[in-house]
Amino acid sequence: MRAVNGIAAIALSWTGANVAWPYQPIVNYQLRCMGCHLAAGSSQAGRVPSIRRSLVLFSATPEGRDYVIRVPGVAQSPLSDEDTAALLNWMARNLSDLKVPPGFVDYSEAEIHSLRDRPLVRVSAIRARLLKTAGAKSRLP
């Protein structure tokens, strides 16, 4: 019986090794994002940009949404597409200095699924271009 339990434990550890268990978005933020974006979604100078002003701003355009979904931390997250969409929607409503505007389109599981398999390479350059296009370069870190 002991050998069977050991085999079962090994099998469970293998199957769950690359799978994120579903949690509420705030817990997923704490486990998957807070290490870099800190508790309030702020920046780490020269290393990690703030999401406090940029997430809602970027979410307003197709190119910005593409960027948000394809940044490596989102695209390569082990969270499911559904949990990733829920997390981004939670972040927009709870960590943003900008209010979610009327008509804000929530991220969807299908949208995440269609874009995340192509992570961005030139993240900083694309972010800078998006900020310039939005006319907000001087307001965002």
Nearest to 60 by CA among 115, 94, 106: 106
Q: How far apart are alpha carbons 56 and 89 in whole angstroms? A: 9
User: Can you give the pTM of this predicted structure?
Assistant: 0.78
pLDDT digits (tens, 9 = 90+) for 70-95: 999 999 999 999 999 999 999 999 99
As for how many domains the chain has, the answer is 1
139 assigned to some structural domain: no
Tokens for 11, please give them.
């099998």
Looking up residue 106, the CATH number of its domain turns out to be 1.10.760.10
Rg (alpha carbons) of the chain, rounded to whole number: 17
Residue 2 lies in a domain: no
Q: Is residue 3 part of a domain?
A: no
Is 5 part of any domain?
no
Structure tokens, 102: 């009327």
Q: What is the pLDDT of residues 80-136, one digit of tens each?
A: 999 999 999 999 999 999 999 999 999 999 999 999 999 999 999 999 999 998 874
- Residue 63: inside a domain, yes or no? yes
Report residue 7's pLDDT band, with 50, 70 and 90 as the boundaries.
low
3-state secondary structure (DSSP) of residue 140: coil
* Residue range 37-55, pLDDT digits in tens: 989 988 888 888 899 989 9
